[in-house]
Each structure stands twice: as structure tokens, then as C-alpha cells.
């Protein structure tokens, strides 16, 4: 009986770990939808990676606000909460945390790049160095 319960628990953990941690009010967009939305007026594109990662290549018109920096909240609240904010990172983990924080801070229109810049690069989309 213990083995069956343990097996069920492990199965549930495995299944739920594959699900995305999607925050209500945040759109997780694939590369093509993200790229299309980037062209809309007043979009604020935020790369939440480290400055070193940002320097290696980033999306056009992106600003760098490092999610791991102590001043993240200060810098992010300088953005306009009424305008769309589009975030991305390397693979999606840090941008998911940033999206959640933006949501908590009252931002209205938040989009997160599914799979981060890794997915962007895999589709040979342009980056700026």
C-alpha cells in the first residue's frame, strides 16, 4: 500500500512539474506572437537577465532590469503600469518570476516570452549586441 501511495505522489509531482507556472494576468506567448506584439505602440520590453547576459545579445529596444539585483523593484516601478510590458530571460524561469512580481505591483498588461531568448534564437530571430 505504501508503495502505491508513494508511486502516486511521485507521478503527481512529475506531471505538475511539467506544467507552466502561469500567473493570472500574464500572457505567455510563443516566439511569433511575442514578435508581433513587440511592434505595437508603447510596448516596454524588459530583459530580466544579468547585464553580462544582456551584453551577449538582446532583443531590439529592450532595457535590462536584472531580476536578481537588489534594485529590481525600484527600477521596474519606474515603468508605466498602464503600458504593455513584455519580459524575457534566458529560458523562462526568471521572466516568470518577474511577471509575477509585475502583476503584484499592479502592472496591467504583461507578456512573457515562452522559452526565453533560447527559443527566440532557435527560430533565428534577430538580436542586438
Give kind and range of the element (H or E) at residue 110: strand 110-113
Distances 34 to 9, 14, 49, 58, 80 between C-alpha atoms, Å: 36, 29, 18, 14, 19
- Is 89 tagged catalytic? yes
Pick the catalytic residue from 76, 89, 96, 102: 89
- For the chain, the structural domain boundaries read 21-122
Tell me the pLDDT band of 17, cut-offs 50, 70 and 90: very low
Tell me the pLDDT band of 25, cut-offs 50, 70 and 90: confident
pLDDT tens-digit readout, 61-112: 999 999 999 999 999 999 999 999 999 999 999 999 999 999 999 999 999 9
Alpha-carbon gap, residue 114 to 56, rounded angstroms? 20
What top-level class would CATH report for the domain 21-122? alpha beta
Amino acid at each position: 500500500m505504501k508503495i502505491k501511495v508513494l508511486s502516486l505522489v511521485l507521478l503527481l509531482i512529475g506531471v505538475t512539474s511539467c506544467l507552466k507556472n502561469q500567473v493570472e494576468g500574464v500572457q505567455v506567448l510563443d516566439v511569433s506572437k511575442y514578435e508581433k506584439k513587440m511592434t505595437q505602440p508603447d510596448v516596454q520590453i524588459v530583459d530580466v537577465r544579468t547585464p553580462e547576459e544582456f551584453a551577449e545579445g538582446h532583443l531590439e529596444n529592450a532595457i535590462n532590469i536584472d531580476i536578481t539585483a537588489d534594485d529590481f523593484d525600484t527600477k521596474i516601478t519606474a515603468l508605466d503600469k498602464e503600458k504593455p510590458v513584455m519580459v524575457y530571460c534566458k529560458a523562462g524561469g526568471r521572466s516568470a518570476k518577474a511577471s509575477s512580481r509585475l502583476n503584484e505591483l499592479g502592472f496591467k498588461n504583461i507578456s512573457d516570452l515562452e522559452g526565453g531568448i533560447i527559443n527566440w534564437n532557435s527560430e533565428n530571430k534577430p538580436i542586438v549586441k
